[in-house]
Each structure stands twice: as structure tokens, then as C-alpha cells.
Chains A and B, each alone.
Chain A
Amino acid sequence: MGKKIITRRDFLKVAAMTPFAGAWACSQKSVEKEKSAREIEESGKVKVVLIRDENALVSFKKPDPDVVQRMLDEAVSTLFDVKDPVEAWKGIIKPSDIVGIKSNVWRPIPTTREVEQAIKKRVMDAGVPEENIGIDDRRVKIHPVFQNATALINARPARTHHWSGMGGCIKNHIMFVPRASDYHGDSCADLAKLWTEYNLKDRTKLNILLMLNPLFHGIGPHHYSDKYVWEYKGILVSQDPVAVDSVGARILQAKRREFFGEDRPLQPPAKHIVLADTRHGLGVSNPDRIQLIRLGWKDEILI
């Protein structure tokens, strides 16, 4: 039997009244129900921690290093249910590990040095010598630490993306592949494949989706305008890259609804997030199977 072709009418069948992206997700679930066997425990939900702090930014797009460190510590401690953040980090990083901190240098909204250093500090506190830690984005393929990395920390800001709908943790590992354009087919539908193809799934110990100042809409070839950056002052943390992106996408979607005064689905829909779950089994995208823990500042939380 051939692959079922999904059309607009499938979405209409599932949810005529829901936002398109949501309908897309629902449609995928119904179409690919058989494939939705999860690698997570039957009864368990995937944990995602959202932490926000009103003082996370000292100025536009500039994080406060101390506040960011505190936020990261609290989020990681909560995620692993351990009081001491260093102990939490020790749970995922061994002193013998070679650790690559996969950053993102996209000029308008980079991961930032403040965040990179906060992560590096805790990796060192876990016992990893500095020379065994690398921070990089575009040169990971030739960076000696990344070439030998036994553990990766995946940290990048959330933003809308011209071709995949959303740039998040799943997409951040694209720099490990020789030709990024090989994954552009069908709006980057199968991005999650690279996680297994390049042995990144097991090595990635933590996914940090920065929501400090996300981009919720883009224009032009560079898909950017300051006009569409908002100070959400949050950080999402999870071991599951799909769950963390799924939550991030919902927040971006909510912001778009608030800003435009109508449903403006991500364009194109970030279907690679749903497919990372239903087609590739990388993680969990279904909100019903995600335990979202909210910490800190609650104003305009949007989720």
C-alpha cells in the first residue's frame, strides 16, 4: 500500500475550527497512529521546565549573566529533581566526558556568551577539564572537541524560520551535516533524521531552548526585524529536543496570535517538530504527553 497523501481536506476533517498548525499535528496523529509508539515509558510524560525571570535581560537582547546562571541552575535542578545544580549536571556529564556546547551564532539573535559561559561553568563544575570543552556552531564538523565529543549540550534561541517554520533545538544540530540543504525537502520535514544519522541522539544530554528574546515573525531574505523580537525572558530546558521545541512553538504561536490579533500560524507550519515524533521517534511533540513545569515570573506567560 502506498503512502497516504495528506491534503488540506485531511486538516479540515480533523479540526476545522483549530489553528492550522494544530490541525496539522492532529492530522498527523490520526494518519500515522501506528507509528506513534513512543520510546518513553508508557505511563511517563516527558518533562520540560520553563523558567522566566523579569530581570533576565539588562538591555535589548543582552542577558544578565548572573540571572541567566540562576535561571539555568534552577531549571536544571528542577528537571532532574535534584537540589544542587552541580549534582544535577553530574547526573548527565561525567568528568571523563568530552563536551561540545552546540551554540548558535545567528547574528540577530545568537545564543550569547552569557548563556554559553553559564553552561560551561556547570560542565566544569561537573568535573570536565576546560580543554575538553568546546563551544561552537558553524565549525562543529572540524572542531576537535566536537569531533570527539562524548556529550553535547544543545543551546540556542527560539525563532521563526523561513523554511522550517521554527528554528529550535531539533534544527540546531544541522551544522553537523555536510550539506544542510539535503534536509530542506518538504519544508525540512525530516530534520530529525540527522540526529540518528550523525549519532547525536544519545550524545545530546540536555536541550536548552532560549526564550529570552525570541523572534516570533520574520520578513525578508534574512527573516528578521527587531520589530518582531519580544522580551519573554524565559528559558526552556529538557532532555527531549522535540518536547522542548513543541513547547517553544506553542509560545511563539501564542505570541503571534496576541500580536496580530488573529490566528497567524507559523508559516510554513513547523511540521518537522511533529514528524520528529510521529515519523522519527526522536521525542514527544504531543502536549498531552509533556509535563510542563513553570518556574518564576508568570506575567504574559502565554502557555
Chain B
Amino acid sequence: MKRLCWILICLFLIGGMSSMGACSNDQKVILGGLMPREINGWVAREKDELYDPETIFDYINGAGEVYRSYNFKQLLARRFSKEGQPDLVADLFEMTSSRDAFGVFTHDLEGDDAGVGRGSTYKGGLLSFWKGRFFVSLYAEEETEEAKKALFALSQKVASSIEEEGEKPDIVSFLPEEARVRKGVHYFHNHLILNYHFYVSDENILLLNQETEAALGTYREKNEKLYLLLVRYPEKSKTSQAYQSFTKVYMPDAKEAGIVQTEDEKWTASRVKDDILVIVFNAPSADFAKRMIEHVLKRID
């Protein structure tokens, strides 16, 4: 009887493992089907690699935290080679939603528009774009003219095989466009990414988490940069809590509720509108900060 039990356990484990393997292979086929295996003479000779939020560190080390911050589901990596040319590395990130595909794209916006997908950049041998729930990074290990052409050709192929278009998060549309710097928009969830783009505090004083949606806009006013942060919380009560937490730590010396002059003689102001917290950092004057907030509140309406 004991022996029979062991046999059953083993069969169960083997079955489970093979179905996991089959699942992983299925995913490789599905994601791999979005990408050609040959482009401009570059051929994918090695097996595709598939990574999940636990194994991504084996592939891109600490950078994996960025993709985890955007709720990525899986990543398919494919390497292309061609005699006498640098390898091309294609990384296809499947995110949980198109909002996160857009968000992770906004993490690194350096470069010129590559004219592909719903938004794209090209710089120094790296072409990245987002479309639907996918974020795609195509990278030449060395930038040559031929490799660059291949990256652009590959990007078009991948983009055309992704059928869904995907929508930008609506919170981004509340950021005014006037005076906003080019590529000055980031969308994210947690305070680690906020601090990456604009350091606020070592502690999570805005109570951000994977359920919050945040949009950060960078603006220019007379050669000075100022920042507008909008955060939507899952419930109004959490928005109020976050406002209390922020004002308590960041502006304990405020003479007027929700607005303070900081040590660089700039102004930081904060207001709540329904489930959204609005903060302006580095405003040149108190009036400017208040006007900017009013302007945003009208857009939210």
C-alpha cells in the first residue's frame, strides 16, 4: 500500500511537471508567434527563453524590479545572429494590461520617435515600443547601420502581429499639455518608481502600492522645472489617508493647509479631488501652485 502511494505521488508530480513544461512551451509558442524568426538576414538560432516575475532576475538582474513594478506576466527573449554583424536581442514583455505596457514604456523615454506601435523610441541601438498589453524592446549589441535597419524592420513585423491597440490610462489625460516638457510623462504604481523619476521620500509617505495609479508630469516655467503628480487610490478614504500622511511628513510647517514653501524657496501644494490626490512640486510661487492645482481639478471634473 505504501509503495502504491509513492507511485501515485510520483505519477502526480511527473504529470504536474510535464503539464507545467507544456504550459511554458505553449506560452513560448504563443508569444514567439508574434515575432518572426528571421529578419534582414538575422536568424534566431537559439531557443527562445521565457521568464516570469520570479525568474526575470536571471535575465536582467535588478532591472527586473522595474518590470515587476508594472505587473508584468511574462517575457519572451529571442536572440538573432548574422555573420559579421552584432546580435539582436528581442524582448517581448507581456503585461497584465495595456496601461502597464504604456507605463513601463514611459519608464525610459530617451530617444527619437521610431514611428511604431502606440508609442516608441530609438536611441543608440535600442528600439522600444508599446502596443496592446505588450512592451517590446529590440536591442542591437552594437549599433551598425545594418543592425538599425533590421531593428526597425523587426519592430514593424512585431507591431503588426499584435492585433490589440491598447489604451493609455485615463489619469494621464488629466495632466495639462501646456508647458509640459517633451516626453515628460511617467505612469506607474509604486513609490520606488516615483523615486526613480522624482525623489519624494525614502519612506512610502504617499501610501502607493500596486493598486494605485500615478501620473507624473514634468513642466517648465521660465527655465525652472516643476512637477505635477496625480495619484488615484482604489477608495476615497485611502486618498484622504494618503493626503494626511503626505502633508504630515512633507509639510509639517505649512502655514496654510496643503501648501508650503520649501527650502529652495519654491512651493509644494496638495489637494484631494474624489479619489485623486494632486500635488505640485517646485512651483515658483504659492499663487502659481494654487492655479495649477485648480486647473487640474477642472480637468478631472
Chain A residues in the interface with B (C-beta under 8 A): 5-9, 11-13, 16, 20, 107-108, 161-164, 180-181, 184, 186-188, 219-228, 267-269
Let me know if A162 and B199 touch, CB within 8 A. Answer: no
Let me know if A225 and B143 touch, CB within 8 A. Answer: yes
Instruction: Give Cα A21 to B213, complex, Å.
Output: 27
Instruction: Give Cα A6 to B203, complex, Å.
Output: 7
Let me know if A221 and B60 touch, CB within 8 A. Answer: yes
Q: How large is the interface on B (under 10, 10 to 19, 20 to 34, 35 or more residues)?
A: 35 or more
Contacts of A186 in B (CB 8 A): 192, 202
Instruction: Give Cα A5 to B250, complex, Å.
Output: 10
Instruction: Give Cα A188 to B199, complex, Å.
Output: 15
Let me know if B200 and A226 touch, CB within 8 A. Answer: no
Let me know if B201 and A6 touch, CB within 8 A. Answer: yes
Given contacts A219-B111, A219-B123, A221-B67, contact A8 B62 (CB under 8 A): no
Instruction: Give Cα A254 to B137, complex, Å.
Output: 29
Instruction: Give Cα A223 to B108, complex, Å.
Output: 10
Instruction: Give Cα A108 to B262, complex, Å.
Output: 43
Work out how many contacts link A and B, with CB atoms closer than 8 A: 104
Let me know if B62 and A164 touch, CB within 8 A. Answer: yes
Let me know if A5 and B67 touch, CB within 8 A. Answer: no
Contacts of B263 in A (CB 8 A): 9, 12-13, 16
Given contacts A13-B263, A226-B143, A227-B143, contact A220 B205 (CB under 8 A): no
In residues 47-87 of chain B, which contact A (Cβ within 8 Å)?
57, 60-67
Task: Render B181-207 as a binary contact track against A, CB cut-off 8 A, 1 for contact.
Answer: 000000000001001100111110100
Let me know if A161 and B62 touch, CB within 8 A. Answer: yes
Instruction: Give Cα A269 to B91, complex, Å.
Output: 27
Contacts of B264 in A (CB 8 A): 12, 16
Name the distance in Å between A275's Cβ and chain B's nearest Cβ. 10
Known: A8-B201, A268-B195. 15 other contacts (CB 8 A): A5-B201, A5-B203, A6-B201, A7-B205, A9-B263, A16-B263, A20-B199, A107-B141, A161-B62, A162-B61, A163-B66, A164-B62, A181-B64, A188-B62, A219-B111
Going nearest first, the 8 A-B pairs with the smallest beta carbon separation are A163-B62, A225-B124, A227-B124, A12-B263, A162-B63, A7-B201, A220-B126, A5-B203
- The answer to whether the Cβ of B89 comes within 8 Å of any Cβ in the partner chain is yes
Contacts of B108 in A (CB 8 A): 219-220
- The answer to whether the Cβ of B113 comes within 8 Å of any Cβ in the partner chain is no
Name the distance in Å between A23's Cβ and chain B's nearest Cβ. 10
Instruction: Give Cα A162 to B89, complex, Å.
Output: 18
Instruction: Give Cα A13 to B263, complex, Å.
Output: 6
Let me know if A219 and B142 touch, CB within 8 A. Answer: no
Chain B contact residues: helix, strand, loop or mixed: mixed
- Among residues of A, the one whose C-beta sits closest to the C-beta of B111 is A219
Name the distance in Å between B299's Cβ and chain A's nearest Cβ. 25
Contacts of B249 in A (CB 8 A): 5, 7
Contacts of B93 in A (CB 8 A): 221
B66 partner, pick from A13, A162, A188, A227, beta carbons under 8 A: A162
Contacts of B111 in A (CB 8 A): 219
* 15 CB-based A-B contacts, threshold 8 Å: A5-B202, A5-B205, A7-B249, A8-B281, A12-B263, A16-B263, A162-B60, A163-B65, A164-B62, A180-B61, A220-B108, A221-B137, A227-B123, A228-B124, A268-B196
Instruction: Give Cα A16 to B261, complex, Å.
Output: 14
Let me know if A227 and B125 touch, CB within 8 A. Answer: yes
- The answer to whether the Cβ of B128 comes within 8 Å of any Cβ in the partner chain is yes
Contacts of A223 in B (CB 8 A): 60, 63
Name the distance in Å between A97's Cβ and chain B's nearest Cβ. 30
Let me know if A6 and B142 touch, CB within 8 A. Answer: no
Contacts of B128 in A (CB 8 A): 220
Let me know if A184 and B196 touch, CB within 8 A. Answer: no
Interface centre among A162, A164, A187, by most chain B C-beta atoms within 10 angstroms, is A162
- Among residues of B, the one whose C-beta sits closest to the C-beta of A181 is B57
Contacts of B267 in A (CB 8 A): none
Name the distance in Å between A44's Cβ and chain B's nearest Cβ. 31
Let me know if B123 and A222 touch, CB within 8 A. Answer: no
- Among residues of B, the one whose C-beta sits closest to the C-beta of A14 is B263
Instruction: Give Cα A6 to B205, complex, Å.
Output: 10
- Among residues of A, the one whose C-beta sits closest to the C-beta of B281 is A8
Instruction: Give Cα A269 to B65, complex, Å.
Output: 16
Name the distance in Å between A167's Cβ and chain B's nearest Cβ. 9
Contacts of A16 in B (CB 8 A): 263-264
Let me know if A162 and B62 touch, CB within 8 A. Answer: yes
Interface centre among B91, B141, B200, by most chain A C-beta atoms within 10 angstroms, is B141
Name the distance in Å between B221's Cβ and chain A's nearest Cβ. 18
Task: Render B78-111 as a binary contact track against A, CB cut-off 8 A, 1 for contact.
Answer: 0000000000010101000000000000001011
B202 partner, pick from A6, A12, A221, A267, beta carbons under 8 A: A6
Task: Render B160-197 as a binary contact track against A, CB cut-off 8 A, 1 for contact.
Answer: 00000000000000000000000000000000100110
Instruction: Give Cα A187 to B192, complex, Å.
Output: 8
A220 partner, pick from B57, B64, B139, B143, beta carbons under 8 A: B139
Let me know if B199 and A12 touch, CB within 8 A. Answer: no
In residues 121-147 of chain B, which contact A (Cβ within 8 Å)?
123-126, 128, 137, 139, 141-143
Name the distance in Å between A158's Cβ and chain B's nearest Cβ. 16
Interface centre among B67, B128, B139, by most chain A C-beta atoms within 10 angstroms, is B139
